[in-house]
Amino acid sequence: MMKAKLIFEDGTTFNGYSFGAVVPAAGEAVFNTAMTGYPESLTDPSYKGQILVASYPLIGNYGVPDDEKSNNLKKHFESDKLHLSGFVISEYSEEYSHWNAKTSLSEWMKENNVPGIYGVDTRAITQLIRDKGSMLAKIVVDGSDIGFYDPNQLNLVDEVSIKKRETYGSGKHRILLIDCGLKNNIIRHLLERDTTVIRVPWDYDISSEDYDGLFISNGPGDPKKCELTIENLKSAFSNDEPVFGICLGSQLMALAAGGDTYKMNFGHRGHNQPVINTQTGNAYITSQNHGYAVDDKTLPPEWKPLFLNLNDNTIEGVYHGSKPFFATQFHPEASGGPTDTEFLFDEFIDKIKKSKESK
């Protein structure tokens, strides 16, 4: 077993063993409380630049599925590659078992040049991050070293967004999807609802596109780095076509509306985050992955909170009082996590149908 270390910027060090790629890595250390879904998390572009700590102790036991494609999307992953900087776990399962497993977690990480460390107390690491906030950290292996690096200083969205326009499906509802670090399951859910999805880069000039509904995806980093997306959304808000945003998309919509966002102490990442709908009073358990939030005190009068987090009362979505614009901070597409809020995709399509009927 090759020794490895997880070193935080405050000097706190955890000693463990290497798995995955034998390379050093640096980024922002964050924790996720999910019990399953590591193939989905590791391919989620929202983790770009981050060292992910899994608080659940057993990781790797069901291996990694094959990379079969459907609709030109990898069927079992949320993008075409791993995006995180490193992976920190308590126990690594050398043996794995699942009917659809193709390879081990360690081999998959080696193929994608992502290092990991195991044999460390991830609950103690989680407590450290909760107490001190998300911190910069690095994984060093077998005497190697690397400098600390703050991914939030960069435009991470530009690094993970597609570079050219792509089209999926041939349904009757035309959805223009701004890719800020898209999870594949968003496209899957839209295609199931009789849509044609036109996926465009984060900085794409959407004014030349004809669409029935506008969708803004999840993505990594500070939303204020996406100035061109925000300006495009300001123009889109002058129209009446329905708009739906998820995660970073919710923050970008709030910024375009004139609100503000802020960096959270340690964010929300996991599959067990409770939210409440401010209009209906219904509560849901949701999948989340974000380190920034909308400042409720800065929303203009026509914009209201749609969902609130029942743990800390932060905004989990916004909506416009008179136009068909709404967003969620959590992930109704799940993958992984609970699917309790998948119905929001139906609500988006219903708004599109009503918009068409009114014309």
Residue 54's CATH number:
3.50.30.20
Q: What is the CATH number of the domain that holds 229?
A: 3.40.50.880
Can you give the pTM of this predicted structure?
Answer: 0.97
Residue 1: pLDDT over 90: no
Q: Distance (Å, rounded) from C-alpha 265 to C-alpha 157?
A: 21
β-pairing, 317-320 vs 325-328, is antiparallel
Measured at the CA of 256, the angle between CA 253 and CA 257, to 5 degrees, comes to 85
Catalytic residues: 247, 331, 333
Q: At which of 153, 183, 209 does a domain end?
A: 153
Domain residue limits at 79: 3-153
192 plus 338 within the same structural domain: yes
Q: Which of 143, 128, 129, 136 is nearest to 86 (CA)?
A: 136
179-233 tens-digit pLDDT: 999 999 999 999 999 999 999 999 999 999 999 999 999 999 999 999 999 999 9
Domains contained in the chain, number:
2
210 with 318, same domain: the answer is: yes
Please state, in angstroms and rounded to a whole number, the distance separating the CA atoms of residues 58 and 38: 11
pLDDT tens by residue, 17-61: 999 999 999 999 999 999 999 999 999 999 999 999 999 998 999
